[in-house]
Amino acid sequence: MFEKISQHEQVVFCNDPSTGLNAIIAIHNTTLGPALGGCRMRPYSSVDEALEDVLRLSKGMTYKCAGADVDFGGGKSVIIGDPTSERTPELFRAFGQFVDSLNGRFYTGTDMGTTPDDFVHALKETNCIVGVPEEYGGSGDSSVPTAQGVIYGLQATIQTLEGTDELAGKSYSIQGLGKVGFKVAEQLLAAGAQIYVTDINEKALKQIQERAELLPGNAEVVDGSDIYGVDADIFIPCALGGIIHDETIEQLKVKAIVGSANNQLLEDKHGLYLQQKGILYGPDYIVNAGGLIQVADELYGPNKARVLTKTRAIYDSLIQIYSESTKNSISTMEAANRFCEEKLAARSKRNSFFAHNRRPKWQVRN
C-alpha cells in the first residue's frame, strides 16, 4: 500500500456503517496550501479501482492548482456508490464529518456524480466545502468560468497558430454539450463560427440547433465517434477523458485540440504523438482550470468579476507553454508539467518560518 501511495502525503479511508458511506480522500501535495479537489461519486467495481482513480485525480489537482496560481494543493475524494440511487443527505453529512476531521487540510465540492446541493448537507458538518449554491454563500455554477477558460484557451491557440485571437471564420468540432460544452458552443455560435457537435443526449443536440437559429453561426450534428474525423480547425473535447489515443489520433484532421474534459490523453505518450502529427494540444488541466479558480477564490467571498479576471490568466499560461514546447522541442503536456513543477519547486524552497500555524486566510472559514 505504501508503495502505491508513495507520491501522496495522506490517504484516508472513510467508513460510516450507519449511512453506508465508503469513501477515500487523497491528499497529494500541500506545498501551495491546503488540498482542494472535488468529490466524485461512482459505482466503482472495487476499492482498488476507486483508490487508483482518487490517487490519479488528486495528483492532477496539484498540477492544476500550480498552473492556475491558486493557494491550494492537490487533493480529491471519491465516494463508492451509485449516484442515481445511493445519494442521500445523511451520506453527505457523514462525508462532511470525515472532511472536518482533517482540520482544514482538505477542501472539497462537486465533481462527476455529485451536485452543489449534496454539499449543502456536508456544509452542516464542516466549513471546508466549496462550490455550494449562491444562496448558501457559494459562488454558483463553476461551469461558467470553466467555459470562459476554454474560450481563452481557444484564443491563445489561434494566436499561436495564426497571430490573431479571432474565433470567427473557423470551424470547431465539439464532443459533449453538457454544462461546459454547451456554453462554449453558444459563444462560438455568437462569434459566427461553424460548429460540429455530438452528444449522447438528444435533447442537448436539439437545444444547440435551436440556439444556432438565433445566432450568426451554424451548427451541424455529427454521429458519435465520427466527431474525431471531422475536418474542422479545432477539436473541443468536453465529455469523457482518455479519448486521445492511437486510434483517434489516426482519424484527427484538426490543427489543434482545446477542451475541458479531464485527462484527455489516454497516456502521456499521446501528447508526443499529437506533436509529431503537427496538432497543437492545449493541456487539459491548464485549459479547464476556470472552475477551480472560482471555487478557490471563494475564500475571499464570491465575486464573479474577480474570477473572470483570474481566469483570463489561462490565455497567458498557454501562450507561455506553447512557446516553451517549441523552444525545447517537447510536447505541450511536458511543457505544462515543467511549468507547474517549477512553481512547486520555487515555493518549496521559500522560507516559511513565520507560518507556524495555518495562514490567517484559511482561518476565515474555520
Ligand X SMILES: O=C(O)CCC(=O)C(=O)O
| 75 binding ligand NAI? (CB under 6 A) | no
* Contact region with ligand NAI (CB under 6 A), list: 153-161, 170-178, 244-252, 299-307: 170-178
Q: Is 176 annotated as a binding-site member?
A: yes
**SS3 for 15?**
strand
CA distance 117 to 138: 11
The grid cell for 252 is: 484527427
| Cβ neighbours for 357, distance < 8 A, ≥ 6 positions apart | none
Name the minimum Å distance from CB 340 to ligand X: 14
What's the sign of the alpha-carbon dihedral 180, 186, 189, 195? positive
Instruction: From 33, 41, 34, select the one nearest 14 (Cα to Cα).
Output: 41
Half-sphere exposure of 207 (CA within 13 A, CB side): 14
Q: Is 47 annotated as a binding-site member?
A: no
Name the minimum Å distance from CB 224 to ligand X: 25
Which position among 164, 201, 276, 366 is part of the footprint of ligand NAI (CB under 6 A)?
201
**Rg for the chain, CA atoms, rounded:** 20
| 131 binding ligand NAI? (CB under 6 A) | no
- The per-type count for the chain, helices as H runs and strands as E runs, is 14, 12
| 109 binding ligand X? (CB under 6 A) | yes
Q: Give the phi and the psi of residue 225 in degrees, each rounded to 5.
A: -75, 0
Q: Mark whether 76 is an active-site residue.
A: yes
Cβ burial of 84 (10 Å; 0-12, 13-18, 19+) is exposed
Which position among 34, 37, 74, 237 is part of the footprint of ligand X (CB under 6 A)?
37
When CB distances to ligand NAI are compared, the closest residue is 178
- Residue 113 gets the label, from left (phi > 0), alpha (psi -120 to 50) or beta, of left
**Other residues' Cβ atoms within 10 Å of the Cβ of residue 166:** 13
Name the minimum Å distance from CB 338 to ligand X: 21
Q: Is 163 annotated as a binding-site member?
A: no
Q: Is 33 annotated as a binding-site member?
A: no
| 291 binding ligand X? (CB under 6 A) | yes
Our measurement of the distance from residue 122's CA atom to the centroid of its chain's CA atoms, rounded to an integer in Å, reads 22
Which position among 33, 34, 38, 73 is part of the footprint of ligand X (CB under 6 A)?
38
| 239 binding ligand NAI? (CB under 6 A) | yes
| 262 binding ligand NAI? (CB under 6 A) | yes
Which position among 133, 178, 229, 242 is part of the footprint of ligand NAI (CB under 6 A)?
178
Which position among 62, 92, 111, 293 is part of the footprint of ligand X (CB under 6 A)?
111
| 133 binding ligand NAI? (CB under 6 A) | no
Active site residues: 76
* Site residues for ligand NAI per CB under 6 A: 112, 142-143, 146, 175-181, 198-201, 204, 238-241, 260-262, 288, 291
- Residue ranges of the binding site for NAD(+): 176-181
